[in-house]
Amino acid sequence: MASRKRIPDEMEGKPAPDFSLPDSEGTVRSLGDFAGRWLVLYFYPRDNTSGCTREAVGFTEKLNEFKQLGAEVVGVSKDSTKSHVRFIEKHSLGIILLSDEDHAVIEKYGAWKKKKLYGKEHWGTERSTFLIDPEGILRRVWRRVKVNGHVEDVLDTLRQFTSQE
C-alpha cells in the first residue's frame, strides 16, 4: 500500500508563536527558554483521559532519546497546574506540562477547534504537535493526531532533521 503524501502545514517554515505559560510547579516557561534546542510542543485535550495519558506516557518513555537529539518535550492543555501535578505524579511523567487555562496559546497554534461529541458541538483542543528548531522555526506540524505510533513518528522526524545538521 502506498503511503499518503504529506501535505505541509501552512505554519511550517515560519517562526513559532511565542508563549509564556506556567508549568506544574508554577514556573512560567516561554518559547525563548528553549532557544538553542529542538522543542516538541504538543497540545492535548485533557489530563488523565486515556488517549492523553498514552501520549504523555509515550513521550516520557522516549524522553531520553529526544534529549540525546537535543530536544525537550512540552505538553500543553487547558488544565490547571494542580491538575498537571496530579497527572505527573499518577503516571510518573518526565515531560514538562504547561497550563493554558484561557486557551490563548492553544488558539495561537491553531489547535482550538470546534468539535463534535455525541452530536453536540463544543470548542476544545485538537491533539496537535509542533516540532520547533533551535532557532524557533516551526519545522513540522501534525494536526488531528492519532496517538498510536505518533511518538515514534515525531522521534523519526526529529532524527531526520538532526542528521541534516
Positions annotated as catalytic residues are 52
H-helix segments, the chain: 50-61, 63-68, 81-91, 104-108, 150-163
Q: How far apart are CA 19 and CA 110, in angstroms?
A: 13
Residue 157: all three cell numbers together: 522526524
